[in-house]
Amino acid sequence: MKQRYGLGTPSVLALVILALLAQSTLAQATEPLVQKALELFFGNTANATADGELLAMLDVAITMPLLKLNGTLKKLPELDEHGASDCVRSLIQFGEEGRDSTAAWAQMLGAFYTSRVANITTGPPDMFGLRQAFPVIRRVAMAQLVKAWLTRWQRQVPSELEAPLQQLFREFYEAHRVVAIRKGIMEYFHISKAGGTSWCHAAKNNGCRAQVYDSAYICQIGQFDDRVRWLNNSFHAQRTGRGARWGTWGRPKRATDMTTCEQRFEFAAALGYQYFSNEYTLHEGFEDPDNVGTCPQFFNVILVRDPLKRLLSHLKFVTMQMKWDYRNNTLFHNTFTGTDSAFWEEFGPVLVDNYMLRGMLGETVYHYPIGGIGAKQVAHGRAILQQYDLVVDLEAGHDVLDDVIELGVGWPHTLREIHDKDSTKAAKLLNLTYEDYLPTDIQRLFEKQGPDVEFYRFGRVLVRLDTLLFHVARGLGVQPLAATRLAELAERGPEAIKCGLLRRGPRQLNSTEREWQPNEYADRVNAEMKAAREEAHRRFAQRAARAKASKLAKAAAAAAQAAEAAANAVVAAADAVSRQQQGGTRRRALLSVDGEGVEAKAAAAGPSWGQLEGRKEEAGRDGGGVRRAMPGMMEALGRTGARQLRRVRRRVSGEAGLDRRLALELGLEGVAEEGKEQDEGEDYGVHVGHGGLYDVYEEL
């Protein structure tokens, strides 16, 4: 039986004895912290239906590791660690026998965590230990505890279990805290329109090193190509004749050689970064979607949001940005007024069809056709979500967010202080009423977000489990950084915070050095950031030049058309004069005394009507024929008509500037071929992601 519970070695048994001794010191603690926290976060269900939904989600969390053990789930790195699978089997058996959430259950878990991760009863933790906090196992145990409280315990923790549970919570939190320090670098998975720019802004406020903090707070590593692929540029070009920002839907493969978790970590760690975000997809699933997952080398964080609110925010954001990019109210109005769900399913398929799960499941699933996300993807997405070191719910409220951010990451500056990208303010400045341009049958899109809704429902339960842990840890007086209180660090600024629990920074996996990389900006980090900024400004300058050249070319084309129209008008005037002359000639011929014929008199009077018709055709060729036709026209028009024609020439030549042909001869960039838009859908942003100097928020 001992082997069944993972207690088969003398060293583990000794740790169990130490844990029991440690529990005796808690016997005098009478405050029911666990009971109060359970009431706060799980005691507000109003009816049996709500309880049933919660219990169903708890069962999903409890049984999720079985997907790996039975071969359904291909990738769950923490269960590959020594003893982890045995621990999960023991937890499942405890539950089946109705003995979970007991003293023996707590002792088994405590022994596993103190032996594998960090033992808080034997002194300061080893910063060079295992970089795995076992968040899946922790959440299995927390789900079992909540389920027992809701059912067997009738919402009352047995008094004799309060002390053992408080000790277990200490051990859970210590594992989380120590592993965050050991990893030293966060990969934040940025679900678009779910608070990602605010999270990046918070990273800056808390002194985290990143490649660049751009104006839009995208905070990616440019070499990883984690940029969004939101929009279908081909569809947009057919509708508008121009390219679209973010129009890279249909290009699944990242433009980088660093596609594996190991390559990504080695690059980021070598440059000493503590933070970066990824707004595309998770990793290593391009060839095989079943292999996709997080990179265990990083401290992994994700924010989730109500899918319907996220979708509405995304539609508004794209609509607003298109209005800014077009700089043409008529084109914008004609393109987006009265659109329906079918339009958006063509224009932004990933936006409107379960966006959260598509990003979670890799590049291939991201580009699945509309309707391609189902129950299999929901189960896979939930399994990946449970592996995150930290899950944050944007809808949870600032009190919960403060606990999660301060205890979970060691950041004193939370999202409470930040609200980036206010779409209401931007719409006001752009004189934009969103309701006029959103899909007329938006409810149909909402109804199709079922998989994302199921994914989010599970995510909310994971957040409540994590918040339960952090709330009890705070009540026990535990500090993320044992030597310094967060409030004191906040007063001293980002330089003192040094990214909270990630303050030591990354360390290569094979490093034997006793020191991490220093928290000052090393020369190579500075050089990398400088190069990124210079590249961003270079790309911006190129796009600005292309846009300017395109405008000049279009203006020149319009001027050429105006010149042709002016030439036609002049020829028409010449025609009128010619007819008058011909009429006079005929009359003189009829009255002629010497008997000369009409045709001879007409020829003597000036150019014939047929000759003027030929000159009209010649004058119509790009305006160039005007100059060639000028002598004959002036002769035909007489003095008054000639003065009028010269005025037309001066006005046209002054307005035209460089025409398209001259721009091409000079080699200007961005001059489009006839009938084509110069932009082929490349991201307008000058850095990475979807922000940069060309972003509407920067301009506003």
Report d(CA 62, CA 66) in Å as an integer: 9
Residues in the chain with pLDDT values less than 50: 1-21, 24-29, 515-522, 593-606, 609, 616, 619-620, 622-623, 625-626, 651-700
Residues 164 and 87 in one domain: yes
Report d(CA 98, CA 203) in Å as an integer: 43
Does residue 590 lie within any of the structural domains? yes
pLDDT given for residue 425 in this prediction: 75
Residues 511 and 559 in one domain: no
pLDDT given for residue 637 in this prediction: 54
Distances in whole angstroms, Cα of residue 515 to Cα of each of 124, 161, 209, 506: 16, 41, 17, 10
Contacts of 426 (CB under 8 A, 6+ apart): 320, 432, 696, 697, 700
Single residue among 181, 214, 244 that ends a domain in this structure:
181
The CATH number of residue 368's host domain is: 3.40.50
The H or E element spanning position 391 is: strand 390-393
Joined together, the tokens standing for residue 505 give 């920074």
Report d(CA 231, CA 349) in Å as an integer: 7
Joined together, the tokens standing for residue 409 give 């990451």
Which phi-psi region, left, alpha or beta, contains residue 303 (left: φ > 0; alpha: ψ -120 to 50)?
A: beta
Does residue 6 contact residue 112 with C-beta atoms inside 8 Å?
A: yes
Does residue 308 contact residue 189 with C-beta atoms inside 8 Å?
A: no
Contacts of 270 (CB under 8 A, 6+ apart): 508
Does residue 411 contact residue 497 with C-beta atoms inside 8 Å?
A: yes
pLDDT given for residue 309 in this prediction: 96
Residues 253 and 235 in one domain: yes
Residues 84 and 63 in one domain: yes
pLDDT given for residue 551 in this prediction: 85
Joined together, the tokens standing for residue 69 give 């053990």
How big is the chain by its Cα radius of gyration, in Å?
36
Residues 591 and 613 in one domain: yes
Residues pairing with 283 in the sheet: 293
Over the stretch 662-676, which tens digit does the pLDDT of each residue have?
A: 333 333 333 344 333
DSSP string, 400-458: HHHHHHHHHH--SS-GGG-----HHHHHHHTT--GGGTS-TTHHHHHHT-HHHHHHHHH
Q: How many CB atoms lie within 10 A of CB 30?
A: 8
Report d(CA 199, CA 423) in Å as an integer: 17
Residues 474 and 431 in one domain: yes
The count of domains in the chain is 3
Count the alpha carbons within 13 Å of 550 in the hemisphere toward its beta carbon. Answer: 16
Does residue 268 lie within any of the structural domains? yes
Residue type, 121: T
Listed residue (555, 575, 585, 683) closest to 633, CA to CA = 575
CA dihedral 251, 253, 254, 259 (to 10 degrees): 170
pLDDT given for residue 237 in this prediction: 94
pLDDT given for residue 426 in this prediction: 75
Residues 385 and 437 in one domain: yes
Give me the phi and psi of 662, to 5 degrees please.
-65, -40
Does residue 2 lie within any of the structural domains? no
Does residue 555 contact residue 567 with C-beta atoms inside 8 Å?
A: no
Residues 170 and 236 in one domain: no
Residue range of the domain that includes 624 = 549-666
Report d(CA 433, CA 19) in Å as an integer: 62
Does residue 695 lie within any of the structural domains? yes
Query: Among all chains, which residue has been given the structure tokens 């942003």?
Result: 685
pLDDT given for residue 578 in this prediction: 76
Report d(CA 200, CA 274) in Å as an integer: 12
Residues 215 and 308 in one domain: yes
Q: At how many degrees (to 10) do helices 103-116 and 135-150 cross?
A: 170
Does residue 530 lie within any of the structural domains? no
What sign does the CA torsion over 684, 686, 689, 694 have? negative
Report d(CA 615, CA 607) in Å as an integer: 10
Listed residue (210, 228, 208) closest to 220, CA to CA = 210
Q: Output the pTM of the full model.
A: 0.73
The H or E element spanning position 331 is: helix 329-336
Does residue 49 lie within any of the structural domains? yes
Residues 93 and 149 in one domain: yes
Q: At how many degrees (to 10) do helices 329-336 and 233-240 cross?
A: 120
Exposure letters 55-80 (e unless 16+ CB within 10 A, then b): bebbebbbebbebbeeeebbbbbbbe
Residues 621 and 687 in one domain: no
Joined together, the tokens standing for residue 61 give 């969390």
Joined together, the tokens standing for residue 107 give 């002792």
Contacts of 481 (CB under 8 A, 6+ apart): 410, 489, 500, 501, 503
Residues 413 and 271 in one domain: yes
Does residue 4 lie within any of the structural domains? no
278: DSSP letter: E
694: DSSP letter: T
293: DSSP letter: B
Single residue among 138, 153, 181 that ends a domain in this structure:
181
Single residue among 153, 181, 209 that ends a domain in this structure:
181
Residue type, 496: A
Distances in whole angstroms, Cα of residue 187 to Cα of each of 19, 83, 387: 34, 27, 13
Distances in whole angstroms, Cα of residue 201 to Cα of each of 42, 520, 657: 31, 19, 45
pLDDT given for residue 677 in this prediction: 39
Does residue 57 contact residue 457 with C-beta atoms inside 8 Å?
A: yes
Does residue 460 lie within any of the structural domains? yes
Count the alpha carbons within 13 Å of 76 in the hemisphere toward its beta carbon. Answer: 27
DSSP string, 156-205: ---HHHHHHHHHHHHHHHHHHHHHHHHH--EEEE--TTSSHHHHHHHHHH
Listed residue (558, 553, 561) closest to 659, CA to CA = 553
pLDDT given for residue 283 in this prediction: 95
